[in-house]
Chain A
Amino acid sequence: MNWRGFYTLFAKEVWRFLKVTTQTIFAPVLTVLLYLLVFASVLSEHVQVYPGVTYASFLIPGLIMMSIIQNAFANSSSSLFQSKMTGNLVFTLLAPLSDLEFFLAFVAASVIRGIVVGLGVLVAAMWFAPLTMHSFWILLGFTVLSSATLGALGVIAGLWAEKWDHVAAFQNFVILPLSFLSGVFYSVNNLPPFWQQLSHFNPFFYMIDGFRYGFFGLADSSIGLSFFVVSLSLIAMSVLCLWLLRIGYHLRN
């Protein structure tokens, strides 16, 4: 294992998004605050999802996880695709880095981006509503597993894409709908039976549900099932991603 090589690529990917924090951290935090401002102020008086939990409080964990998901995906997909398009990825491909080291570096950087944006949203949102913490380890576990899953999916999208339009399509037609329809703004138990059933096939639902459990100790699904589905998603994405890297898909052909 080329540990220093792995660490350098990881550090480079983190360094890259820290060089443009307005775009990579502050903009997503602001977006979430606007959601919170609009939805929480309009609906707080009318909606209560869990007993003893205000709608604004209910909303915050979902919005944090949605930011983590979207930013973890954006980090690996945009960085990899940009390097591919500008051609400077060639220097990474010429280096003695294995597929696993390459994969882990991109995914770990996505996890860091997810955590930084998640913390930013949390700190900003705490001014809007009181939050409890049921289990720090569950919060951390779901943050890492979810952002790693989306980091791996971002690498897959970055490999697959041949133009920026493809990356945008992945973001707009896969990530955005799945994250919006995963119970960020509502409890899936309030949906009609068909949509309720359908939601249970969306892995993002389990990411948000498990994360919310970490705050309130309450969730739509069982925490064990959420943990299992999110872990399985990470394994599936990782296996697919490593296989694509192994065959040099859109990289070494």
Chain B
Amino acid sequence: MSHAINIAKVHKNYGNLHALAGIDFQIPQGSFFGLLGPNGAGKSTLINTIAGLTYASTGTVEVMGYDVRSQWRQARKSLGVVPQELVYDSFFSVIEVLRLQSGYFGYGRENYPWLDELLDILSLTDKANASMQNLSGGMKRRALIAQALVHRPPVIVLDEPTAGVDVELRKMLWEFTKRLHNEGHTIVLTTHYLEEAEALCEQIAILNHGQLIALDKTQTLLGRYPYRLLRLSLSLDFTLPTLPEALQSKVQSFELGELVLRLHREQDPICGVLECLRAANIPFLDLRTEEPGLEEVFMQLTSDREILS
């Protein structure tokens, strides 16, 4: 068994809505995996199906080789899920919540040192006895992460963990997830911050309209985008209509004297562009090229599908 998660021909229907339409892919053990897609793409439905919070209409899901329906007990022991929303029980303190969660998984006092370690790692030790409802948003987020890890699951799903958190906490969460990954955990991350997925994930799946539209290593996915950006600083008296006709269709943006051209790697050599500018007598003060980010790849893939559909 080499797959942490195996998703086989999963369909999920809500009446006439086809939330998942035949999703079929595997997440390798020990990988840092990104699950991306626009709102309503089916990411949450897929995560809920993996976690057993939603039952697939057809198809199967396995976590560490255990079917989430027929071998649900082992599958749930293998999985830790950090939900997107800040959900908590206002009746209990942080340490009480962790001890209860640990108990649900069959652990007793022998697991308390691990719970204390989790509090320490997530900088929550001094808040251990504070009521969950009195924590700040960032602390609640960290407490939810601790709650998902009480049973040391080999597979961890983080559903938009950095949504709405400040820069400092985001950085801390990045470091923490990298640490978990280095310790051998499989990490599945959904995020709206594409630079986050680009920086952390080794492999990425993109969903749109309940379908898998891309699945590849992050670098390969980036390489599939045939464009790069040329950023030119022009004099302030430059106006866009003076740009030669041949370059007009390649303009991505023009703002405050900075012109960004989107160039095809094979069909638009940079020397040709520079020649064109020189012929039109348009001087530039500086230039630099930029490789595409995941955002460009994502936008292209999702917009291609929009056009096809």
Contacts and interface: CB of A to CB of B under 8 A. Distances in A.
Interface of A: 2, 4-5, 7-9, 11-12, 15-16, 19-20, 83, 86-88, 90-98, 248, 252-253
B87 interface: yes
Contacts of A9: 103-104
B85 A4 contact: no
Nearest to B144: A91
A8 B55 contact: no
A96 B83 contact: no
Given A83-B89, A86-B90, A90-B83, A97 B104 contact: yes
17 contacts: A2-B106, A4-B108, A5-B106, A15-B92, A20-B91, A87-B85, A88-B87, A88-B89, A90-B53, A91-B87, A91-B101, A92-B104, A95-B104, A96-B104, A248-B55, A252-B54, A253-B54
Contacts of A92: 104
Contact of A16 (B52, B81, B91): B91
Nearest to B87: A87
Main secondary structure of the interface of B (DSSP, over half): loop
A252 B72 CA distance: 13
A140 to B, nearest CB: 28
A177 to B, nearest CB: 31
Contacts of A91: 87, 101, 104, 147
A8 B103 contact: yes
Contacts of B52: 93-94, 252
Interface-centre pick from A4, A19, A87, A95 (highest chain B CB count, 10 A): A95
Interface-centre pick from A16, A87, A92 (highest chain B CB count, 10 A): A87
Contacts of A12: 100
A94 B74 CA distance: 11
Nearest to A3: B106
A95 B54 contact: no
Contacts of A253: 54-55
A96 B54 contact: no
B51 A4 contact: no
B107 interface: yes
B105 interface: yes
A90 B105 contact: no
A63 to B, nearest CB: 29
A5 B104 contact: yes
Given A2-B104, A2-B106, 15 more contacts: A4-B106, A5-B104, A5-B105, A5-B106, A8-B104, A9-B104, A87-B87, A88-B89, A90-B53, A91-B87, A91-B104, A94-B76, A95-B104, A96-B73, A96-B77
B46 interface: no
Interface-centre pick from A16, A88, A90, A253 (highest chain B CB count, 10 A): A88
A96 B72 contact: yes
Contact of B91 (A19, A87, A93, A98): A19
A89 to B, nearest CB: 8
- Closest 3 interchain pairs by CB? A8-B103, A87-B87, A95-B104
Nearest to A105: B104
Contacts of B100: 8, 12
A16 B97 CA distance: 12
Contacts of A90: 53, 81, 83, 87
B25 interface: no
B79 interface: yes
Contact of A2 (B73, B81, B90): B73
Given A4-B103, A87-B83, A91-B147, A96 B90 contact: no
B284 interface: no
Contact of B101 (A7, A19, A83, A95): A95
Interface in B73-127: 73-74, 76-77, 79, 81, 83, 85, 87-92, 100-101, 103-108
A7 B103 contact: yes
